[in-house]
């Protein structure tokens, strides 16, 4: 609240005092802010201290007031929710849970889901100590280097519609990257890896709780390598992984803006999903995919199969034409080459 008050007053004063140099203008006297926020001067002072402890640079002068100089690139709820205008996902800051460190945002969100957290709840962390990847792998998630977050969904849908759901998440991430960095070609490798120039920049892990044919909830975890440099990846991934920073020729970008764009895209495509606009989602996926039309080898639980990826069906399954023209359908698996 205090942070919003400082920023708003900064913006108002910028309009009035165009000649202020360096940072946001000095705007807020403790008394004035205390009045506006209906609290005491001591509470304002404590709030300022706590903002500073959280990484905000606030300059204070007993005579002139406070000035917000710098906002940290941390994914705090107040920052992430600013200007989001989503209808379901993170529709209020209270739905965003931020942690400096967690084992895994998926695990943490699962605890909240079990306690009855509403659809659209988001857990975001600066660092994960046991980030989880697909197929039981781990996901390297160093502090501040990526966008590591998970979102809770509670759609009233039959279990057979879940595969399309996993596709829509990848579409949202690919679209967000395209919007923020139009010059970068981010493509979806079936089912939902995001690659740039053949290297993986983002992985998506969807976990669910269901019984018989009733879905309780879905948790989708997104790991987008953002600020990582080559040395941040383990040696075995250095040739196959990349980050937004690396692909943007070493020019830094705001994590908050990218995370916000992903949430916005996801909110909009998820609403299509709820409206049964499956065809539209499949065609968006196809527009961003880099798998169809290629000769690939897929490894499923039972076998490896090589052929040409020709289509995906309405359930998101991959259709592969074998050397003899015979078509095979894969609902799960990993494309290994
Ligand atoms: C993959 O293997 O491609 C999926 C990686 C998913 C990683 C993300 S990071 C945020 C969320 N929390 C986790 O523990 N995993 C997912």
What is the pLDDT at residue 304? 94
What is the pLDDT at residue 60? 81
What is the pLDDT at residue 47? 85
Whether the upstream peptide bond of residue 191 has omega within 30° of 0, thus cis, is yes
61 pLDDT band, cuts 50/70/90, is: confident
What is the pLDDT at residue 21? 42
- Single pTM value for the model: 0.87
C-beta of 192 in contact with ligand 1 (< 6 A): no
What region, left, alpha or beta, does residue 293 occupy, with left being phi > 0 and alpha being psi -120 to 50 degrees? Answer: left
Pick the residue whose CA is nearest to atom 9 on ligand 1. 223
Question: Which of 1-5, 42-46, 238-242 has the highest average model confidence (pLDDT)?
Answer: 238-242
3-state secondary structure of 80: helix
Separation between Cα atoms, residue 45 and residue 63, nearest integer Å: 14
Q: Could you tell which of 141, 149, 220, 234 is best to mutate to test the pocket of ligand 1, judged by most ligand atoms within 8 Å of the CB?
A: 141
* pLDDT at residue 64 is higher than 80: no
Q: What is the sign of the dihedral through the CA atoms of 303, 308, 312 and 316? A: positive
Q: Which of 72-86, 141-155, 287-301, 307-321 has the lowest mean pLDDT?
A: 72-86
* Burial of 312 (C-beta count, 10 Å sphere; 0-12/13-18/19+): buried
Residue 305: half-sphere exposure toward Cβ, Cα within 13 Å = 22
C-beta of 245 in contact with ligand 1 (< 6 A): no
Tens digits of residue pLDDT in 130-171 = 999 999 999 999 999 999 999 999 999 999 899 899 999 999
Rounded to the nearest integer, the mean pLDDT of the chain is 90
């Amino acid at each position: 609240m205090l942070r919003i008050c400082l920023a708003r007053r900064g913006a108002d004063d910028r309009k009035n005092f165009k000649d202020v140099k360096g940072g946001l203008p000095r705007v807020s006297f403790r008394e004035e802010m205390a009045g506006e926020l209906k609290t005491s001067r001591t509470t304002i002072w404590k709030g300022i201290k706590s903002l500073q402890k959280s990484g905000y640079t606030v300059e204070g002068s007993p005579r002139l007031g406070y000035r917000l100089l710098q906002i940290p690139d941390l994914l705090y709820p107040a920052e992430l929710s600013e200007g989001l205008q989503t209808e379901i996902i993170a529709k209020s800051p209270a739905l965003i849970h931020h942690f400096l460190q967690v084992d895994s945002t998926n695990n943490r969100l699962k605890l909240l889901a079990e306690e009855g957290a509403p659809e659209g709840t988001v857990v975001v962390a600066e660092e994960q100590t046991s980030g989880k990847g697909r197929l039981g792998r781990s996901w390297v998630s160093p502090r501040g280097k990526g966008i590591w977050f998970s979102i809770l969904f509670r759609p009233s849908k039959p279990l057979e519609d879940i595969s399309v759901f996993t596709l829509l998440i990848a579409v949202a991430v690919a679209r967000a990257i395209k919007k923020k960095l139009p010059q970068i070609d981010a493509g979806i490798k079936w089912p939902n890896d995001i690659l740039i120039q053949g290297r993986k920049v983002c992985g998506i892990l969807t976990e669910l709780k269901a019984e018989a044919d009733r879905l309780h909830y879905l948790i989708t975890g997104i790991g987008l390598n953002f600020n990582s440099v080559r040395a941040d990846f383990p040696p075995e991934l250095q040739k196959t992984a990349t980050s937004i920073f690396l692909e943007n020729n070493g020019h830094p970008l705001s994590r908050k803006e990218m995370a916000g764009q992903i949430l916005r895209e996801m909110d909009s495509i998820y609403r299509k999903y709820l409206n049964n606009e499956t065809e539209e989602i499949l065609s968006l996926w196809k527009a961003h995919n880099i798998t169809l039309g290629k000769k690939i080898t897929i490894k499923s639980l039972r076998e490896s199969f090589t052929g040409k990826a020709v289509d995906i069906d309405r359930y998101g399954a991959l259709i592969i034409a074998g050397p003899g023209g015979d078509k095979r359908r894969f609902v799960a698996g990993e494309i290994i080459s």
